[in-house]
Amino acid sequence: MDYAKEQLIELGVSLSSLAIKSTASTIQKRISVAKTKKDDKKTIELYDEIVNELIEERAEAIRIAQSYKTEIEKYEISDIDIQHLNKTISTVLDILKDMSPNIDIESFKKFKDLISVDTLKSMQLLGFNYKKAIGEPLTELCSSKISSWGKNNKKQVK
């Protein structure tokens, strides 16, 4: 199972246990118990304990929600980011094309067309992971090209 799925499952479990712990009936029972105490100090202590737990649970719920948001943002990019990505990828592909003239230029044009706001947004809605689909292959392409430079230099030195 990949890391993101594990994170989301852990967050779901935490949220579920928090929801069960903080149900209205559970809190109501604890308040009822506090009311039955004859000692005002004990009653106040129990109320303080309930309030403090609710504050802690609220903070935990906010932390879980922010974690969910962070996980989702890993897979979702804004229109502005896609436009910037398109421009940057176009530049990178032009550089790679110049460095490797034997690569099919039409493939590059099709790849550039793939990175548009409408296309990527639609694909994201279908579960498209642009980092795996575009980022990893592009990283591998750059890596292999840079590695080949080192190999070419070693051949020339000999």
The DSSP code sequence of 115-143 is SSHHHHHHHHHTT--HIIIIIHHHHHHHH
pTM of the model: 0.49
Residue 147 has pLDDT above 80, yes or no: yes
Cβ neighbours of residue 60 closer than 8 Å, sequence gap 6 or more: 14, 18
Which tens digit of pLDDT belongs to each residue from 97-131? Answer: 777 777 776 776 777 777 777 887 888 778 777 77
Mean pLDDT calculated for residue range 16-36: 76
On whether the CB atoms of residues 41 and 94 are closer than 8 A, the answer is: no
Using CB atoms within 10 A of its CB, is residue 53 exposed (0-12), middle (13-18) or buried (19+)? middle
Instruction: Return the DSSP state at 22.
Output: T
On whether the CB atoms of residues 130 and 120 are closer than 8 A, the answer is: yes
Instruction: Return the DSSP state at 75.
Output: T
Q: What's the rounded Cα separation, in Å, for the pair 133 and 156?
A: 35
Q: What's the rounded Cα separation, in Å, for the pair 1 and 3?
A: 7
Which tens digit of pLDDT belongs to each residue from 55-109? Answer: 888 888 888 888 888 877 776 777 888 788 778 877 877 787 777 777 776 776 7
Q: What's the rounded Cα separation, in Å, for the pair 89 and 83?
A: 10
Look-up: residue for tokens 């309930």? 50
